[in-house]
């Protein structure tokens, strides 16, 4: 029983990381129709920035995030203004290719600034083991699961109750109609990138606190992509949930069947789900896939 609980609990931890990264993907896709292939790099870059802040000022976790998140949002805004805004009106494929180029640039910049060595980054969190019942956790693991919960709740409330969130949904539903009723689509795009960068920073810092900070952190973006597909590319909340599902399934497959099945288990689930619901578990039926 403990073995099963251990697999589920640690699956929730890795799933929370997938979910947070997937939320960033979905948020940009929902409001701009673009798959941001630089999302993993954004996660990595913001984690490294946070590491520098932590190393310099030795802040504890919450003050660290209070500094990291606004800086990340600013980076998201700058990236949108410099790389994406000039592409408005261009074919979606061209914009997607810009994000691919952006990913390569961000990877290069990260290694140029911080070098190739990996780092231990606790993000101001204790490394003492804590127990929930009989299940051991590192605090960073609990923070990761909690962060997904908080971000999902905030995401839902933002999209449901705020003017900006409703405007974002309007742009996602019909960009032309949204323009006609006076919504600034370009502003919505900028906000989407800022919020996505904010989520990326939370994901990056907590991923690094759990699994070390290294220049291959960007790869988690690709590993999280199945969660976006499973949850529905335009469903921010669905992506978060799908991340958890994939994380737990991966651990159960590895724990009970083993021999590297972790890697393919998520994809098996995705294929089955997409055969039944091609638009994902929580996605809209009319989305256009790239």
Partner 1 sequence: MRNKLLALTACLLASTASYAADPGVSDTEIKIGDVNIMTGPASFIGRAVAVGSKIAAAEINEAGGVNGRKITIVTEDDGYIPARSFQALTKLIEVDEIFALNGTSGTANVLAMMPLIEENNLPTVVTTAPNELVYDPVRPSVFTIGGSYSDAFYGQLKYIHENLEPENPVYGLIRQDDDFGGAIEHGYERAIEEFGVKDGLRVRFKKGTANFAAEVAQMKQAGVNVLANGGIIAGAANILGEARKLSMDMQVASVWSEDMPPSVNLSAPAGYDYLVADYVALNGPDYDRFMEKARKYASEEEVAAINRYTLVTYVGLSALAEAMKQCGQELTRDCTIEKLRGLKNFDTQGVAAPISFDNEQQLSGTALAIYQLNAADKSFKRLTDFTDY
Binding site for partner 1 (CB under 8 A): 3, 6-7, 10-11, 13-14, 111, 115-120, 127, 129, 136-138, 207, 211-212, 214-216, 219-220, 250-252, 254-255, 258-260, 262-263
CA atoms within a 13 Å half-sphere pointing along the CA-CB vector of 129? 6
CA atoms within a 13 Å half-sphere pointing along the CA-CB vector of 117? 4
- Cβ proximity to partner 1: between 208 and 233 the closer is 208
Cα–Cα distance between 38 and 53 in angstroms, integer? 22
CB of 140 to partner 1, least distance (A): 10
Q: Which neighbouring-strand residues pair with 136?
A: 131
Is residue 54 within 8 A of residue 124, CB to CB? The reply is yes
- Cβ proximity to partner 1: between 63 and 118 the closer is 118
- Cβ proximity to partner 1: between 63 and 255 the closer is 255
- Cβ proximity to partner 1: between 148 and 190 the closer is 148
Q: Which neighbouring-strand residues pair with 121?
A: none
CB of 24 to partner 1, least distance (A): 18
Name every residue whose Cβ is closer than 8 Å to that of residue 98 and which is 6 or more positions away in sequence: 83, 84, 87
Residue 19 phi/psi, 5° resolution?
Answer: -60, -45
CB of 35 to partner 1, least distance (A): 21
- Cβ proximity to partner 1: between 124 and 280 the closer is 124
CB of 208 to partner 1, least distance (A): 10
Cα–Cα distance between 77 and 275 in angstroms, integer? 37
Cα–Cα distance between 82 and 126 in angstroms, integer? 39
CB of 161 to partner 1, least distance (A): 35
Extended beta strands in 44-164, E state: 130-132, 135-137
CB of 232 to partner 1, least distance (A): 24
- Cβ proximity to partner 1: between 266 and 283 the closer is 266
- Cβ proximity to partner 1: between 153 and 222 the closer is 222
Give the C-alpha distances (Å, rounded to integers) separating 210 from 138, 148, 187, 223. Answer: 8, 14, 35, 16
Cα–Cα distance between 214 and 208 in angstroms, integer? 8
Cα–Cα distance between 253 and 239 in angstroms, integer? 21
CB of 234 to partner 1, least distance (A): 27
- Cβ proximity to partner 1: between 56 and 259 the closer is 259
Count the Cβ atoms, other than its own, within 10 Å of residue 117: 9
CB of 185 to partner 1, least distance (A): 37
Is residue 212 within 8 A of residue 121, CB to CB? The reply is yes
């Amino acid at each position: 029983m403990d073995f099963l609980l251990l697999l589920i609990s640690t699956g929730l931890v890795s799933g929370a990381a997938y979910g947070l990264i997937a939320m960033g993907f979905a948020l940009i896709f929902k409001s701009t129709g673009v798959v941001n292939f630089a999302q993993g790099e954004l996660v990595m870059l913001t984690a490294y920035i946070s590491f520098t802040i932590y190393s310099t000022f030795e802040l504890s976790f919450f003050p660290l995030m209070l500094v990291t998140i606004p800086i990340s949002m600013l980076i998201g805004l700058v990236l949108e203004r410099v790389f994406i805004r000039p592409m408005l009106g261009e074919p979606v494929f061209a914009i997607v290719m810009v994000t691919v180029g952006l990913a390569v640039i961000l990877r290069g910049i990260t290694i140029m600034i911080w070098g190739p060595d990996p780092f231990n980054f606790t993000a101001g969190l204790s490394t003492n083991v804590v127990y929930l019942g009989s299940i051991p956790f590192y605090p960073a693991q609990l923070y990761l699961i909690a962060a997904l919960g908080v971000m999902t709740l905030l995401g839902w409330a933002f999209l449901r109750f705020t003017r900006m969130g409703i405007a974002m949904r309007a742009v996602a539903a019909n960009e032309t109609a949204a323009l006609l009723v006076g919504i600034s689509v370009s502003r919505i795009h900028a906000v989407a990138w800022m919020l996505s960068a904010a989520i990326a920073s939370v994901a990056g810092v907590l991923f690094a606190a759990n699994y070390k900070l290294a220049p291959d952190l960007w790869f988690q973006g690709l590993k999280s992509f199945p969660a976006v597909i499973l949850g529905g590319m335009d469903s921010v909340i669905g992506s978060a949930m799908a991340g958890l599902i994939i994380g737990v399934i991966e651990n159960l497959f590895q724990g009970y069947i083993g021999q590297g099945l972790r890697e393919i288990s998520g994809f098996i689930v995705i294929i089955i789900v997409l055969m039944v619901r091609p638009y994902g578990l929580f996605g809209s039926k009319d989305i256009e896939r790239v």
